[in-house]
Structure 1
Amino acid sequence: MAGTESSSTGRYLVLLEDDATVVGARELTRLAGIRTVNTADVVGASAAELFGAADGVVLNELGIALVTAGSDQASALSEAVRSSGPIAAFEAERTVYAIDDAAPAAEAPPAPVDGALTWGLQAVGVNGSTPTGAGVRVAVLDTGLDLQHPDFAGRDIVTGSFVPGEDVHDGHGHGTHVIGTACGPRTPAQGPGYGIASEASIYAGKVLANGGTGSDGGILSGISWAISNGCSVVSMSLGAATEPGQPFSQAFERVAQRAMARGTLIIAAAGNESSRGSGTIAPVGHPANCPSIMAVGAVDARNAIAEFSCGTVDQIGQVDLVGPGVDVHSSWPGAGSKSLSGTSMATPHVAGVATLYAQQHHERAWGLWARLAQKARRLPLPSTDVGAGLVQVP
């Protein structure tokens, strides 16, 4: 996400009140003449596929409508938010990005990867832990996965693409890398072990195109898919930059609350927009700045806050935990591996650890969040930078 800015796709998100998808769809038609299709009525079709047949799509699992609207229609829906009724919020759909590889501080030494496990796995305590995530479903929403990568042979993998015209194959690399950290092997054929939840069921959701961009609607479709499949954890190394004081998305916050009610914890990257060497700390990006989404910052092998890692600069978006995020070694398309830096790399460390807690303690949702925060390693750094501290395995 470094160097990107939030921009609108030209479509809108309409948040519907709890259990109001049917009456909400009727209200969209009555107020603005918008015809919608409900995903509950069409088996096996994504929101992107349904859009061609209507003015909007209601994601039934989430209580969100994604619509196209002219200026008069948008005005009518904005006005409806201020009235009593099924429409709770109305906001522009954003363009979102894979949070790109960020260059670490020049003075930071390369992180070691020549042992049995990467420095990141050692830092979170994997070398002394027995849980593997077996029996737990974890969704990683990103640019997809290289299904031919030999390090994932024989794994339980379920895929879904929410990008029009593209299958789940990762033509970018970002998705394969983050899935590797969250759920890859601890004993690959070559190199150090790099995967935390090495026996978890992988739900690889492609919500970003091979060029690394996507939209709120694609992310929400992926979240809906993950919830409907009973995933305990959703990992998202994606988003859009925010400005200080910019409010968080009401739609994503309510979705995160609804996901928690269904037993699904959403974990997202805080963003890479900071330049701490020059004194600039950027705020947590969208959608990680939502209170009910766990926001993850990055530290290096010396447990110093990463140069690029976004921080808590106001009370709108707060960093909740940090993970290893500098020179992180993981899988890469084409049977390879690669080291990258970013809060993108820190996030799957937290998601992988969350999966281990879900296995060992059968925790879900807020209970899982609480256990992650309570067991984190406290660091001698401001909580505005590292939240509760460095994530630790059971």
Structure 2
Amino acid sequence: MPDATETTTGRYLVLLEDNSVSANARELNRVAGIHAAGTVESVSTEQLGTSDGVIFQDLGIAVVNAAPDQVSALARAVDEPGPISVVEAERVVHAIAAPARGETGSALVDESVFTWGLQAVGATLCSATGAGIRLAVLDTGFTVDHPDYAGRTVFTNSFVEGETVDDGHGHGTHCIGSAAGPRKPASGGPGYGVAHEAEIYAGKVLSDSGTGSDGGILNGIAWAIANGCAVVSMSLGAAVRPGTPYSQIFEQAAQRALARNTLIIAAAGNESSRPGRTAPVGHPANCPSVLSVGAVDDRRSVAPFSCGTMDTVGQVDVVGPGVDVYSSWNGKTADTLHKRIQGTSMATPHVAGVAALIAQQYNARGWELWARLMQAGRRLGLPSTDVGAGLVQAP
């Protein structure tokens, strides 16, 4: 697992245009002497970390371990006829967290029954529950013995070498709770899950320290697509400088996911310090075909940390509740089973939960699901550069 201070891992991502895995594998071997194995779904963390390379068939993307001379050979192949079209260094990514401002809860909304976030997106008034919709949360994993999920089937997979899916961080369990947690928690407190009957797919792509890599995310996306997930929620990413090009490889991954009826939703990032400084939308949320989520508070004001649209690269598409958000946590005692935290990370699973409700209500998938989410946004009287189409609303 990469160190938290690093920005790249030493591996590379290769975008392949040929539909044949065997043809792509032959080309990687011919051009750079890389022996890459193909996979339909996902691969073990050991295989991803130790082999020459792995090709994710549904995404048409390879993650490779390459020496400098092999990287040069791949780069030259980009300009030649053949399936190798883009080569990028693999990035280190993190759970997107904002500094906590306390455990105060909402001063404006009665949260005795439901959280302010559920009420803000209209989930408590919606007849849809998310039943039958597969929703993947790619994060730090899931607290498998949390009492609020007793009797609930949660499908899990770890893409972090040496770690089980059990959440040693807490961030993933919190995000899963907002997206698809219970409306009547067994351990007490307000209901906090938007799509409370959705089928949960918990993919651990970030370690217990909250750090991961592009390859791990792609592994998780491939797993979600292979399992027919309609929605993928990713509260993770890497900060970028203004004007930094988005990843062509993640853009293609998102387009290919949409073609397979899987919508990817990602946090815009928490690098802003409003009102003095607005930071650009981070990776991979800055890709045009990834639905980017900013955060608002219970007053429907933009959260001070929420990234915004700065230039032609990356934009905020919608916003969700992201301040003082109450949800499940990885605690082991009664007073640590829930926690209030904030960030675009918390807004993202609210949007993913609403997407699951819309998917159930209208049988919408892919680009249609994207369009319905955007059309249903509640206008807030704020610049679209900060809130996009507005605050997402349940159908």
TM-score calculated relative to the size of structure 1: 0.94
Paired residues of 2:98 and 2:305 also in contact (CA < 8 A): no
Tell me which residue corresponds to 2:247: 249
Tell me which residue corresponds to 2:229: 231
Query: In the alignment, does 2:177 pair up with 1:180?
Result: yes
The gaps in structure 1 that reach 5 residues or longer are: none
* Residue-by-residue CA offset, 1:32-64 (whole Å, 9 max, x unaligned): 111111124xxx872522246631111122111
Structure 1 runs of 4+ off > 6 angstroms? none
SS at match of 2:258: helix
Tell me which residue corresponds to 1:258: 256
Separation (CA, whole Å) in 1 of partners of 2:349 and 2:50: 36
* Residue-by-residue CA offset, 1:133-181 (whole Å, 9 max, x unaligned): 0011000000000010011111121101100111100000000000000
Tell me which residue corresponds to 2:316: 319
Paired residues of 2:106 and 2:324 also in contact (CA < 8 A): no
Relative distance call for 1:53 and 1:96 in structure 2 (3 A) is closer
Letter in 1 for 2:66: A
Paired residues of 1:6 and 1:96 also in contact (CA < 8 A): no
Separation (CA, whole Å) in 2 of partners of 1:129 and 1:152: 22
SS at match of 1:31: helix
Paired residues of 1:233 and 1:351 also in contact (CA < 8 A): yes
Tell me which residue corresponds to 2:32: 32
* Residue-by-residue CA offset, 1:210-269 (whole Å, 9 max, x unaligned): 010000000000000000000000000000001100000011000000000000000000
Letter in 2 for 1:159: T
Separation (CA, whole Å) in 2 of partners of 1:69 and 1:156: 40
The Cα of 1:334 is off from its aligned counterpart by 2.5
Relative distance call for 1:52 and 1:321 in structure 2 (3 A) is closer
Separation (CA, whole Å) in 1 of partners of 2:175 and 2:384: 25
Separation (CA, whole Å) in 2 of partners of 1:175 and 1:75: 38
The Cα of 1:27 is off from its aligned counterpart by 1.2
Moved more, 113-122 or 288-297: 113-122
Relative distance call for 1:269 and 1:371 in structure 2 (3 A) is same
Separation (CA, whole Å) in 2 of partners of 1:87 and 1:272: 34
Query: In the alignment, does 2:83 pair up with 1:86?
Result: yes
Paired residues of 1:152 and 1:185 also in contact (CA < 8 A): yes
Relative distance call for 1:52 and 1:345 in structure 2 (3 A) is closer
Separation (CA, whole Å) in 2 of partners of 1:32 and 1:316: 32
Relative distance call for 1:137 and 1:108 in structure 2 (3 A) is closer
Letter in 2 for 1:347: T
Relative distance call for 1:295 and 1:87 in structure 2 (3 A) is same
SS at match of 1:276: coil
Separation (CA, whole Å) in 2 of partners of 1:5 and 1:318: 26
Separation (CA, whole Å) in 2 of partners of 1:233 and 1:305: 25
SS at match of 1:177: helix
Tell me which residue corresponds to 2:282: 285
Q: Structure 2 residue aligned with 1:126, among 123, 127, 132? A: 123
Paired residues of 2:320 and 2:351 also in contact (CA < 8 A): yes
Relative distance call for 1:354 and 1:330 in structure 2 (3 A) is same
Relative distance call for 1:324 and 1:375 in structure 2 (3 A) is same
Relative distance call for 1:384 and 1:52 in structure 2 (3 A) is closer
Letter in 2 for 1:15: L
Tell me which residue corresponds to 2:369: 368
Relative distance call for 1:218 and 1:99 in structure 2 (3 A) is same
Separation (CA, whole Å) in 2 of partners of 1:263 and 1:102: 35
Relative distance call for 1:342 and 1:108 in structure 2 (3 A) is same
The Cα of 1:109 is off from its aligned counterpart by 6.7
The Cα of 1:20 is off from its aligned counterpart by 3.8
Q: Structure 2 residue aligned with 1:271, among 269, 272, 275? A: 269
Letter in 2 for 1:68: N
The total of aligned residue pairs comes to 386
RMSD: 1.8
Separation (CA, whole Å) in 2 of partners of 1:45 and 1:16: 17
Paired residues of 1:39 and 1:47 also in contact (CA < 8 A): no
Tell me which residue corresponds to 1:377: 378
Paired residues of 2:143 and 2:173 also in contact (CA < 8 A): yes
The Cα of 1:290 is off from its aligned counterpart by 0.4
Relative distance call for 1:182 and 1:292 in structure 2 (3 A) is same
Paired residues of 2:105 and 2:340 also in contact (CA < 8 A): no
* Residue-by-residue CA offset, 1:320-370 (whole Å, 9 max, x unaligned): 000000000000113510000000000000000000001110000100000
Separation (CA, whole Å) in 1 of partners of 2:207 and 2:47: 18
Paired residues of 1:5 and 1:242 also in contact (CA < 8 A): no
Tell me which residue corresponds to 2:302: 305
